[in-house]
């Protein structure tokens, strides 16, 4: 060992509780505290009871500001999505604590949702004692087998001596590299075992540890940067395509610097919303199936597509062979090597941290002068001509106008969560997002019921923020029990319910592709009175808007209310979300509906000349 390393090891401060004899459950709580956890979302039960007892004892011995807050939901799925919302809004690892059997299986959907959207989360679930595993004991489920296919990693703690390191390693794995959820299946007898707390140490995973270290050391060198700028020099129409990896990698500031340094416009994926300020002149907003028409037209026109933290998802790339058809060069920066070239072949790539890569490109390109004025003028014209629009003369309230009204008040500063469906896409289109981690939605999994619990988690992570759950009548039913959780804990979330009395997105597909056979999507026969439900759950502000003339006043009162608030707006069930690129279609086949302007063939870009980029 080198002398410097030896000194560093000696200088490392010893944990104040190292050497203390502790119960396993106490060790779990101590590691959570060491990892900076301030909130746990979960539901108790027999197999996890020792750890819940440890939560109580941990808080009893400390000042209130040092407590680990315990939030008990109506359902474990709600707890999982609260932990996810907490993580998405804060960037910290969300924590969920549930019992065995049904408690754990109720968390399968949140775990898969986090895995699909690369969200760091740790789920600790109780398990029957080790001797009873495999005997179909009461509330036993094979969680290791069930979760292994949908989590980043799963631990079944068989050796009590590994417990402390296992919990610490779960956090390390959850947030390192491409983030994701980690599950700890924790037998009851391991929780009750007494042992010596070490205060340090991770489990060893030789291959994983080597890859993690190698990834951390991966830097964009001058040679790779020169190759990138060589391609940029040839380009006349470069376009940034930013995904959720920008946000998960905390690279939004670096992306914005890169955009403005080189004057390159940007489109974002659904998960990438907020990585670019949507009010920025260089922002073209969301691309893809329900992206803005001008974003999709820009993708059609660009000659150099620069993908950062995006994975060419089917809702973006559609017909892959026709995606970005004029792009002779495609660059891809991603933390996950498996994503590079997986869907679309690229001509330049960097497997590494987006924050570091973008910082390096700005550094190495400090003398690169770019203008792309003709391209930016073209893009600006696309935004003006092919802007979002809807039926502004409709008799019934339109979903888009509700969100436009909200946006006038929140001005792009609110944290917004959503359920899944039409309301989700309307929110993505018509609400501004000036900052990262202010748009929370279930992207890859598309999980109805996500919005309400995610908003609760987000508000607990960011107590001073305005947090709005934009939900649909179908989605909110999935986890409506969490309305009571809001009032139980005084969570200052605003629930904006767009009620069209149908499953809007599925009904739209039935309208367009199934000859208006509305099988299973009509909800107007249901008896749910959402406002009365909110009042029954303790909401002091619970109103319904059916009159357009009252919409703005109600919205202002709703956002300004000090405490949990519920506003239901009855909207037009025939309102459809456009633009729309049908499944397996290309952007040329995009449908813009009756109230937006489609592009004429002669409008397609023809920017010629020698280009406007000088290298140094």
* pLDDT for the residue numbered 616: 26
Q: Is the peptide bond before 571 cis (omega within 30 degrees of 0)?
A: no
User: Do 349 and 491 lie in a common domain?
Assistant: no
Query: What is the rounded distance in angstroms from the CA atom of residue 294 to the CA atom of residue 310?
Result: 19
User: Do 183 and 230 lie in a common domain?
Assistant: no
* pLDDT for the residue numbered 11: 62
Block residue for tokens 């924790």: 186
Across-strand partners of 241?
267, 307
* pLDDT for the residue numbered 604: 65
Residue-level length of the chain: 616
User: Do 130 and 202 lie in a common domain?
Assistant: yes
Pick from 385, 418, 438: which residue ends a domain? 385
> Which member of 56, 66, 138, 411 is catalytic?
138
DSSP letters, 253-321, are HHHHHHHHHHT--EEE-STTTTSS-TTSTTEEEE-STTS-HHHHHHHHH-SEEEEES----HHHHSSGG
Return the CATH number at 409.
Answer: 3.40.50.970
228 inside domain: yes
Beta strand extents in 329-459 (DSSP E only): 329-334, 348-351, 415-418, 439-440
CA distance readout (Å), 119 to 113, 215, 220, 444, 581: 8, 19, 25, 12, 27
User: Do 137 and 38 lie in a common domain?
Assistant: yes
**Taking each helix axis from N to C terminus, what angle separates 252-262 and 354-364, rounded to the nearest 10 degrees?**
30
Contacts of 417 (CB under 8 A, 6+ apart): 85, 440, 441, 450, 451, 452, 454, 455, 458, 467, 468, 469, 470
Q: Structure tokens of 17? A: 């509780």
* Domain containing residue 223: 218-385
Contacts of 194 (CB under 8 A, 6+ apart): 21, 22, 23, 24
381 inside domain: yes
User: Do 284 and 376 lie in a common domain?
Assistant: yes
Q: Degrees (nearest 5) of the Cα angle 502, 504, 508? A: 120
User: Do 101 and 133 lie in a common domain?
Assistant: yes
Q: Degrees (nearest 5) of the Cα angle 448, 452, 455? A: 125
Closest Cα partner for 605 from 276, 230, 228, 239? 239
Query: What is the rounded distance in angstroms from the CA atom of residue 518 to the CA atom of residue 500?
Result: 14
Block residue for tokens 């809007």: 504
User: Do 229 and 304 lie in a common domain?
Assistant: yes
Q: Quick check: is 191 catalytic?
A: no
75 inside domain: yes
Pick from 187, 215, 243: which residue ends a domain? 215
605 inside domain: no
| Rounded average pLDDT per 10-residue block, the chain, 616 residues | 44 89 98 98 98 96 91 98 98 98 98 98 98 96 96 97 98 95 98 97 88 80 95 96 97 98 97 98 97 97 98 92 96 95 96 95 93 95 97 97 98 98 98 98 96 98 98 96 98 97 93 92 85 98 97 98 98 96 92 94 57 36
Q: Quick check: is 76 catalytic?
A: yes
User: Do 94 and 186 lie in a common domain?
Assistant: yes
Across-strand partners of 494?
468, 565
User: Do 502 and 376 lie in a common domain?
Assistant: no
Query: What is the rounded distance in angstroms from the CA atom of residue 306 to the CA atom of residue 40?
Result: 39
Tell me the chain's radius of gyration from C-alpha atoms.
25
Return the CATH number at 340.
Answer: 3.40.50.1220
> Which member of 26, 76, 300, 401 is catalytic?
76
* pLDDT for the residue numbered 234: 95
β 194-196/21-23 pair status: antiparallel
13 inside domain: no
Q: Quick check: is 139 catalytic?
A: yes
Query: Given CA atoms 178, 98, 96, 496 in this order, what sign does their dihedral have?
Result: positive
> Which member of 121, 505, 555, 580 is catalytic?
505
Number of domains in the chain: 3
User: Do 276 and 328 lie in a common domain?
Assistant: yes
Pick from 215, 239, 258: which residue ends a domain? 215
* 488: enclosing H helix or E strand: helix 482-489
> Which member of 17, 139, 484, 585 is catalytic?
139
User: Do 185 and 226 lie in a common domain?
Assistant: no
Closest Cα partner for 571 from 538, 524, 536? 524
* 27: enclosing H helix or E strand: helix 24-34
User: Do 428 and 375 lie in a common domain?
Assistant: no
> Which member of 152, 188, 355, 494 is catalytic?
188
């Amino acid at each position: 060992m080198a002398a410097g390393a030896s000194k560093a090891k000696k200088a490392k401060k010893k944990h104040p509780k190292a050497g203390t004899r502790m119960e396993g459950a106490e060790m779990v709580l101590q590691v959570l505290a060491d990892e900076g956890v301030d909130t746990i979302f979960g539901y108790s039960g027999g197999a996890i009871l020792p750890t819940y007892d440890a939560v109580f004892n941990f808080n009893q011995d400390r000042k209130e500001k040092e407590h680990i807050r315990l939030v008990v939901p109506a359902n474990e799925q709600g707890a999982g999505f609260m932990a996810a919302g907490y993580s998405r809004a804060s960037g910290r690892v969300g924590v969920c604590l549930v019992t065995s059997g049904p408690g754990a299986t109720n968390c399968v959907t949140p775990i898969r949702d986090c895995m699909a959207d690369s969200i760091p989360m740790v789920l600790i679930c109780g398990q029957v004692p080790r001797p009873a595993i495999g005997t179909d004991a009461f509330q036993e489920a094979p969680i290791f087998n069930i979760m292994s296919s949908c989590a980043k990693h799963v631990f079944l703690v068989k050796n009590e001596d590994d417990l402390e390191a296992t919990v610490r390693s779960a956090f390390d794995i959850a947030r390192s590299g491409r983030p994701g959820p980690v599950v700890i299946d924790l037998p009851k007898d391991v929780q009750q075992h007494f042992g010596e707390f070490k205060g340090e140490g991770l489990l060893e995973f030789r291959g994983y540890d080597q890859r993690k270290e190698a990834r951390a050391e991966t830097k964009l060198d001058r040679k790779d940067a020169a190759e990138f700028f060589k391609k940029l020099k040839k380009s006349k129409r470069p376009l940034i395509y930013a995904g959720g990896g920008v946000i998960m990698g905390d690279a939004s500031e670096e992306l914005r610097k890169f955009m403005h340094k080189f004057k390159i416009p940007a489109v974002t994926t659904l998960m990438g919303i907020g990585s670019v300020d949507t009010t920025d002149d260089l922002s073209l907003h969301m691309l893809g199936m329900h992206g803005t028409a001008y974003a999709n037209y820009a993708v059609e026109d660009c000659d150099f597509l620069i993908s950062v933290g995006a994975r060419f998802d089917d809702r973006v790339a559609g017909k892959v062979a026709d995606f970005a058809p004029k792009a002779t060069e495609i660059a891809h920066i991603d933390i996950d090597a498996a994503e590079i070239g997986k869907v679309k072949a690229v001509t330049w790539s960097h497997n590494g941290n987006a924050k570091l890569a973008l910082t390096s490109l700005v550094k190495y390109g400090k003398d690169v002068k770019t203008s792309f004025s003709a391209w930016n003028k073209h893009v600006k014209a696309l935004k003006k001509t092919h802007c979002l629009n809807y039926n502004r003369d409709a008799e019934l309230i339109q979903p888009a106008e509700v969100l436009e009204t909200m946006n006038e008040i929140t001005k792009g500063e609110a944290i917004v969560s959503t359920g899944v469906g039409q309301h989700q896409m309307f929110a993505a289109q018509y609400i501004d997002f000036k900052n990262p981690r202010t748009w929370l939605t279930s992207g890859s999994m598309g999980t109805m019921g996500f919005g309400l619990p995610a908003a609760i988690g987000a508000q607990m992570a960011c107590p001073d923020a305005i947090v709005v759950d934009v939900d649909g009548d179908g989605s909110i039913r999935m986890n409506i029990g969490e309305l009571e959780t809001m009032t139980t804990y005084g969570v200052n979330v605003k629930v904006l319910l767009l009620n069209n009395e149908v499953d809007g997105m599925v009904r739209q597909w039935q309208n367009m592709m199934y000859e208006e056979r509305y099988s299973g999507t009509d909800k107007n026969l249901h008896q749910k009175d959402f406002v009365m439900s909110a009042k029954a759950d303790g909401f002091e502000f619970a109103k319904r808007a059916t009159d357009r003339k009252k919409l703005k006043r109600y919205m202002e009162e709703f956002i300004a209310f000090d405490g949990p608030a519920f506003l239901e707006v009855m909207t037009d069930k025939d309102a459809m979300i456009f633009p729309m690129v049908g499944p397996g279609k290309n952007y040329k086949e995009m449908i813009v509906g009756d109230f937006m302007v489609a592009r004429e063939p002669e409008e397609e870009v023809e920017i010629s000349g020698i280009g406007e980029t000088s290298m140094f």
